[in-house]
């Protein structure tokens, strides 16, 4: 049995579309699909439950889940009751599936749409390649455009500094940063390979053996959002494991609609906190480098907040 974790926050339509794409493209797979509602403030739980009932899909709804309980239905809907963030929310599903003795666990963002059966191929890949800890299909923005963020190099300290210094978002600096990070953007010939090894794969679609998730301890719950993939890379190295993608199979990543609804400075503050934790705990950055990045990131957020305030005053004055 293969376990799948789908995290929902105020975006039930994407979650329903993701589940529907699983049903269409993986009808013969033995799956246990766990949907975690991460404290949605709308009627997501009712909408997802209605979908299950309408499609005659047997499911269990859990509002007070404990690790000792086991459930037989294919679909599990767990109410987390509050927004726990990406890491803690997904870990609820991972820990649930570990207790249910699944062979492997696939983390799926709810904005992933399957266009083919990726599960069988990815399972075969990790069986044939014991050095692979985490694997993903090639992710697309649409049917024809590659999401190059799905296969990245781990950023050097100089790249983190350059990102922080690049306060006005200069195009030539952004292009340089992308040239250093985006593996496929530099060498499209890699797409002819069966397996492409890279440091960091997208957290939106990751499959690993259950025993690997146990070794890694799931996601680091000290991050609320962002840099989870970077941390996984650091954890994999400790176990002599690697990340990879299979470019011969594909899925569509339609975009993180949930986070786009949040004000820019909120997102940037969350990202800054996760980055600083990652730099301190996993990269062991020097105190000077750490403080410089912290100050530059804070200054960037300050400039954006001032600009947002000016725009708000301008539009209010002209309304």
Q: Any long-range contacts for 211-218 (C-beta under 8 Å, 24+ apart)?
A: 212/133, 212/134, 212/239, 212/241, 213/94, 213/98, 213/105, 214/98, 215/239, 216/133, 218/87, 218/90, 218/91, 218/94, 218/95
Residue 88 to residue 271: CA distance in whole angstroms? 16
- Strands 2-8 vs 104-109: parallel, antiparallel or unpaired: parallel
pTM, two decimal places: 0.93
pLDDT single digits (tens) 266-299 = 889 999 999 999 999 999 999 999 999 999 999 9
Tell me if 91 sits within 8 A of 73, measured CB to CB: no
Whether residue 137 contacts residue 113, with contact meaning beta carbons closer than 8 Å, is answered with no
> What does the block give as tokens for 304?
């954006």
* pLDDT of 18 above 50: yes
Percentage above 90 pLDDT, the chain: 82
Q: How many other CB atoms sit within 10 Å of the CB of residue 187?
A: 10
What is the separation of C-alpha 62 from the centre of its chain, rounded to a whole number of angstroms?
A: 23
Q: Tell me the mean pLDDT in the region 211-239.
A: 97
Distance of alpha carbon 123 from alpha carbon 217, whole angstroms: 20
* Rounded-to-integer distance, Cα 280 and Cα 119, Å: 35
Distance CA 199, CA 273 (A): 22
Contacts of 152 (CB under 8 A, 6+ apart): 181, 182, 183, 198, 199, 200, 201, 229
- What's the rounded Cα separation, in Å, for the pair 153 and 151? 7
Res 256: pLDDT: 36
The pLDDT assigned to 186 comes to 78
145 φ/ψ angles, rounded to the nearest 5 degrees: -110, 125
Structure tokens at 39: 């404290």
Specify the range with the lowest mean pLDDT, choosing from 25-39, 111-125, 303-317: 303-317
CA distances from 144 to 20, 41, 84, 147 (A): 21, 34, 34, 10
């Amino acid at each position: 049995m293969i376990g799948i974790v789908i995290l929902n926050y105020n975006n039930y339509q994407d979650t329903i579309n993701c589940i529907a794409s699983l049903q269409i493209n993986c009808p013969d797979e033995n799956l246990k699909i766990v949907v975690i509602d991460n404290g949605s403030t709308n009627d997501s739980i009712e909408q997802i439950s209605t979908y299950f009932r309408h499609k005659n899909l047997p499911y269990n709804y859990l509002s007070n889940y404990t690790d000792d309980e086991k459930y037989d239905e294919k679909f599990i809907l767990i109410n987390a009751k509050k927004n726990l963030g990406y890491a803690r929310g997904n870990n609820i599903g991972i820990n649930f599936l570990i207790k249910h003795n699944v062979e492997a666990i696939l983390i799926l963002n709810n904005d992933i749409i399957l266009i083919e059966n990726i599960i069988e191929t990815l399972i075969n890949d990790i069986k044939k390649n014991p050095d692979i800890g985490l694997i993903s299909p090639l992710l697309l923005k649409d049917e024809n455009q590659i999401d190059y963020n799905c296969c990245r190099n781990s950023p050097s300290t100089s790249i983190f500094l350059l990102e922080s210094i690049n306060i006005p978002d200069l195009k030539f600096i952004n292009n340089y940063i992308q040239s250093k990070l985006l593996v496929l953007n530099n060498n499209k010939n890699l797409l002819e390979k069966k397996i492409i090894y890279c440091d960091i794969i997208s957290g939106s679609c990751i499959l690993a053996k259950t025993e690997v998730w146990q070794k890694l301890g799931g996601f680091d719950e000290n991050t609320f959002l962002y840099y989870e993939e970077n941390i996984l890379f650091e954890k994999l190295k400790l176990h002599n494991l690697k990340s990879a993608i299979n470019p011969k199979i594909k899925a569509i990543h339609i975009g993180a609609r949930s986070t786009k609804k949040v004000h820019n400075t909120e997102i940037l503050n969350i990202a800054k906190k996760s980055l600083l934790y990652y730099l301190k705990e996993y990269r062991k950055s020097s105190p000077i480098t750490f403080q410089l990045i912290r100050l530059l990131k804070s200054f960037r957020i300050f400039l954006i907040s001032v600009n947002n305030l000016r725009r708000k005053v301008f539009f209010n004055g002209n309304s």
